[in-house]
Structure 1
Amino acid sequence: MKTKAWLNAVRLRTLPLSVSGILIGSGLAAMYGATDWTIFFLALLSTLGLQIISNLANDYGDGIKGTDNDERIGPKRAYQSGELSSTELKTGILIAVVLTLLCIGILLYQAFNGLPEFFLLFTVFGALAVWSAIRYTVGKSAYGYKGLGDLFVFAFFGLLSVLGSMFLFTKYLTLAAVLPAIAIGLLSTAVLNLNNLRDHNSDVQAGKFTLVVKLGMRRARQYHYLLVVGAFLCMIFFIALNASQWYQTLCLLAFVPLGLHLRKVSGVVEPKKFDPELKIVALSTFFMALFFYLGFNIFL
């Protein structure tokens, strides 16, 4: 058994961030009086499945292209280190896709039984999400190598994750819900941007033209400030307009470590020092989403 190798390929530390959009979307639905534990847990499982597909595909795609090499600063990947072969990774991706599609199918049946138009629409969204998770680094036209990763992360892990999960419960959307959806999208993109800041030198050598490579380190750092500050402003506006209890403001505490994080980012000289900041942004985003969910659902 290669349990440790598979856990390495799955990248457990990325999973909390992936469910942040579901927590926010479910909290929004609860704010409007719509809750369903079955939909909630199926949505969590579906999102975890998509993240695992993305992680395995990224390990495979960057591995066979040679992007993950000895010059790379971050944790060793399963294919790069020889722990898993390309065939094993492809098998793992296939299994993850099948299980995730099954989970998505059950989720959509539970949410839209008797509403075929919504079922079909979200089936398309689910298929696009799976395609996006794989094509980030896999294939000759992998969009992650063309600087489009930020756009896809913002769209799928921000807008679609939050607004889509809210719609599963409510069957409608509101203008106010767009603010936290944008916030999660911006913070998820910030995590990707940090990853690309860390890997800038090896990406340049491998011909992986991320947005950081295209912008340059100085502008990419400025872009990072805009992502985090933009998320903060979106959440401030949403809370100011919608919070009715003091504990619903607790989600904003997540921006304290994020503020400290920006100070550290401004002083980073060696790319490897961006790596610890990934965990700070990811966990801060997760806890913001968790407190949001609790404030607008459990304690409401």
Structure 2
Amino acid sequence: MTASSQSQLQSSSSSSPVATPEDRPPLHKVWILASRTHTLTAAVSPVLTGYHVCASYSPHIHQEHSSELIKVTFAWLLFCVFIQLGTNLHNDYADFVKGADDENRVGHARATQKGWLTPQQTASGSNFCLMIAAAIGAKLAQLNSSEGGIDWDWTIVFIILTSVFNAVAYTGGPHPLGYVDLSNLSIGYSGLGDLFVFLYFGLVATMMVPYIYVRDVLGEAVSPRDLLGGGNERNEVPVLLRTAFFMALPVGWLATAIIVVNNLRDRHTDVKAKKLIIAVRFGATFSQVEYGLLVFGSYMSLPLCLDASSLYSWLPFLSLPLALPQLRAVALGKKDGADLNMYVGGIARLQLVFCILLCAALRMSSPS
């Protein structure tokens, strides 16, 4: 923690509200609240999708290495979950010490702002989660050398390091992603925040399951030759990763929609804290249109993910009864402020249901 962060923490601690025993939930519920476990679908959905891409589009590899796929999926799921928990806890801490979370907050209760946890406790919880994530990531990045030593998959190393960095930089540090102002460009929080959520909880979280799985089965890092097509089992690699990329698009767009509705709800207090989210920089209407495009685009991208000639490709549309109330409330601006609280969890549930149906359609329509 930097000196400036410590001074902010000390000043905020002195003004931190003191929760009475009647106000304070049980400690385990406080940590669940601070961790925002209701948003963990954003970590689970892409990993689930990546698993089913592997099982559907690498039948020959999968039959011989099914236990390897389960092991890779579980390890990557743990990494993604702990990264998100660390991000959520650090956001709870940083938004309080920077003044974005105060008594005027209209969103869900924040443990640090309520005084249920001290800033030090929340920051320590975040650091603990990120250290676990880094340890899991380090294990995933290791390659067994033919000479008996350990080599590193530098693609995974880069992803692990940037994931941990983004978890902290999201709202922390002297120049957090949540408070960026690039002079005339003025790319605000949701501009950068949306981009990082789409990249890391969409493309990366989905595609790393097949990437690590194929790498471990082949016994070496995936090379450009493998991406273009090689021989024998390697012929399946480009198809596998290409399918994972297209499947990751709707997964990432729906994950991004979670942060859009969250920021739309919080824009009135964020503007006072000089938090340059898109809803502050470009207005509520811009964010409402963005939200509509993300949700609508997720359904329109299905022909890229599935065989359009198969009846099973229509399965994800069964989630429309969940999507339509979301679009009406958020994209059409029927709800605002605290009334949007239920729609933050609503879009997270939509993402999970959509991904389950997407995976079911993929498995049912695949040749394997």
TM-score, normalised by the number of residues in structure 2: 0.74
| Residue 159 (str. 1) matches residue 203 (str. 2) | yes
Q: Deviations over 1:109-143 (max 9, x none)?
A: 4xx54597772220111111111111100112110
- Is the CA contact 2:329–2:335 (under 8 Å) kept in the aligned structure 1? no
1:59 aligned residue = 92
Q: Could you tell me which runs of 5 or more consecutive residues in structure 2 were left unpaired when the two chains were aligned.
A: 1-25, 181-188, 216-236
Deviations 1:185-228 (A, max 9, x none): 11111110000010010011111111111110112111111111
Aligned to 1:282: 348
- The structure with the greater share of residues assigned to helix is 1
* Whole-Å separation in 2 of the counterparts to 1:219 and 1:139: 28
What is the identity percentage for the equivalent residue pairs of Structure 1 and Structure 2? Answer: 28
- Structure 2 residue corresponding to 1:22, chosen from 18, 22, 47: 47
Give the aligned partner of residue 251 of structure 1: 316
| 8 Å contact from structure 1 (residues 30, 296) kept in 2 | no
Using the alignment, how far apart are the partners of 2:335 and 2:358 within structure 1? 34
AA paired with 1:198? Answer: R
Q: Distance in 2 between matches of 1:194 and 1:267?
A: 11
Give the whole-Å Cα distance in 2 for the aligned partners of 1:295 and 1:231.
15
Give me the CA root mean square deviation: 2.3
Cα distance in 2 between the residues matched to 1:71 and 1:208: 15
Q: For 1:187-206, list aligned pairs within 5 A.
A: 187-206=254-273
1:51: Cα distance to partner?
A: 0.6
Q: Is 1:214 matched up with 2:249? A: no
Q: What do the CA deviations read for 1:237-295 (whole angstroms, capped 9, x no partner)?
A: 32235x85x55642332233113321222142532222211112111111222233345
Unaligned 5+ residue runs, structure 1? Answer: none
TM-score in terms of structure 1 length: 0.90
Q: Note if contact 2:254-2:347 (Cα within 8 Å) is conserved in structure 1.
A: yes
User: Any idea what the Cα deviations from partners look like across 1:66-98, whole Å, max 9, x if unmatched?
Assistant: 101111111111110111111112221221121
| Structure number, greater radius of gyration | 2
Query: Contact 1:158–1:182 (CA<8 Å) still a contact in 2?
Result: yes
Q: Does 1:32 align with 2:89?
A: no
Answer yes or no: is the 8 Å Cα contact 1:239–1:249 preserved in 2: no
Call closer, same or farther: CA 1:260–1:169 in 2, change over 3 Å: same
Match of 1:134 among 168, 171, 181: 168
Residues 26 and 114 of structure 1, relative CA distance in 2, 3 Å threshold: farther
- The aligned amino acid for 2:176 is A
Partner amino acid for 1:272? A
Letter in 2 for 1:291: L
> 1: distance between equivalents of 2:118 and 2:163?
25
**Inter-partner Cα distance in structure 2 for 1:25 and 1:19:** 10
- Aligned CA distance change for structure 1 residues 255 and 236 (closer, same or farther; 3 Å): farther
| Residue 227 (str. 1) matches residue 261 (str. 2) | no
